[in-house]
Structure 1
Amino acid sequence: MFTGIVQGLAEVIALNKRDQFMQIRVSLPEGHTKNLQTGASIAINGTCLTITEFSQNEVQFDVIEETLQVTNLGKLEIGDRINFERAARYGDEIGGHQLSGHISSTATISQIIRTPDNCTLWLTAPAELIQYIIPKGFVALNGCSLTTGEVQASSFSIHLIPETLAVTTFGNANIGDKINLEVDPQTQAIVDTVNRFLHNRNL
């Protein structure tokens, strides 16, 4: 389980890309390597990955075909910076919202509006997922727990504070970027339940 409170930026230091499979090695910043162990989970751009090897502050993961198809991890290059969050432990403060690290799909940045102290992003989501994104609801984008602003047709906005821009990949976001999207599972469950009820009532 994750909270959507990104702990910082890691750097991709090695990639081994094969047919429908990839190994990724990242360097974690100092202070975030305590109690690492093989088999533990870390969210990389919001994607729950399992540690297969580690040494000092370097951690390696295997990424399989399904993950490559659904997320933006297959587009990573050596030197890229990525959001990371270590798995939550019992007793940790949940500052964002509960996340599984199971990415629903990617959303595409369509517009960036910057002012001196604010930044608003507009993103286009797949048609089958936009129904689960509601104004003032929750989404996770590249592992960041964020509150949605407006929702219009297949697009939605988020508002980013300077702290989020400073400690996540959103500080260097560009139009056209593919962003990992995990919809709020509680919202999804409610919407699906209501849709099934309405469908059955009209039979």
Structure 2
Amino acid sequence: MFTGIVQGTAEAVSILEKKDFRTHTIRMPEDQLSGLEPGASVAHNGCCLTVVSMEDDLVSFDLMQETLRITNLGELVTGDRVNFERAAKFGDEIGGHQMSGHIICTAEVTRVIDSENNRQVWFRMPSDLMKYVFTKGYIGIDGISLTIGDVDNDEFNVNLIPETLTRTNMSARQQGDRVNIEIDPQTQAIVDTVERVLNNRNK
């Protein structure tokens, strides 16, 4: 389980490509290494990955074909930075909202509007998933727990404060970039349940 409170960004220092498979290695900040060992879960841009090996501050993760297909991690190149969050422990403060690290799709950045101390970013998502996107609802974007702003057909926006821009890779996002999306599971459960009940009534 994750909270959507990104702990920082880490640089991808090597990428080993195989057929429908890759291993990438990131350089973790030293203050995030305590207790980290093979088998532990770390979210990269919101996607839950498992540590497979460690050498000092270099931590490696395997990415399967489905992960490469669904997420933006298959687009990473050496030198890119990913948002990371180590798995939450029971008793930790849930500062964002509960997240699983299971990415449902990617969304395209369509507009970036900068103003003093703020950044508004618009995203386009697959239209069949927009039923889960509500103004003031929660959404996970590249592992960041964010509140949805405006919704317009198949697009929505979020508003980012300086702390979020400093702590995450959202300050570098530009039009055309793809970001990982995790829908709030409670919202998804409610929408799917209501939809199923209404469909049954109409039979």
Q: CA RMSD in A?
A: 0.6
Q: Which runs of 5+ in 1 are unaligned?
A: none
TM-score (norm 2): 0.99
Q: Aligned letter for 2:71?
A: T
Structure-2 residue corresponding to 1:94: 94
Q: Aligned letter for 1:189?
A: A
Structure-1 residue corresponding to 2:24: 24
Structure-2 residue corresponding to 1:68: 68
Structure 1 residue 108, shift from structure 2 partner: 0.5
Structure-2 residue corresponding to 1:10: 10
Structure-2 residue corresponding to 1:51: 51
1:40 aligns with 2:29: no
Q: Percent identity?
A: 49
Structure 1 residue 30, shift from structure 2 partner: 2.2
Q: Aligned letter for 1:102?
A: H
- Per-residue CA shift, 1:96-119, capped at 9, x if unaligned? 000000000000000001001111
Structure-2 residue corresponding to 1:151: 151
Structure 1 residue 159, shift from structure 2 partner: 0.4
Structure-2 residue corresponding to 1:168: 168
**Partners of 1:76 and 1:9 in 2: CA distance:** 13
Q: Aligned letter for 1:132?
A: Y
**Partners of 1:40 and 1:158 in 2: CA distance:** 31
**SS at 2:148 equivalent:** strand
Structure 1 residue 80, shift from structure 2 partner: 0.5
Structure-1 residue corresponding to 2:188: 188
**Partners of 1:100 and 1:93 in 2: CA distance:** 16
**Partners of 1:141 and 1:56 in 2: CA distance:** 29
**Partners of 1:29 and 1:35 in 2: CA distance:** 13
TM-score (norm 1): 0.99
Q: Aligned letter for 2:111?
A: Q
1:121 aligns with 2:121: yes
Structure 1 residue 71, shift from structure 2 partner: 0.1
Q: Which runs of 5+ in 2 are unaligned?
A: none
**SS at 1:108 equivalent:** strand
**SS at 1:95 equivalent:** coil
**SS at 2:69 equivalent:** helix
Q: Aligned letter for 2:96?
A: G
Structure 1 residue ranges (4+ consecutive) displaced by more than 6 angstroms after TM superposition: none
Structure 1 residue 18, shift from structure 2 partner: 1.5
**Partners of 2:138 and 2:201 in 1: CA distance:** 29
**SS at 1:131 equivalent:** helix
**Partners of 2:21 and 2:128 in 1: CA distance:** 27
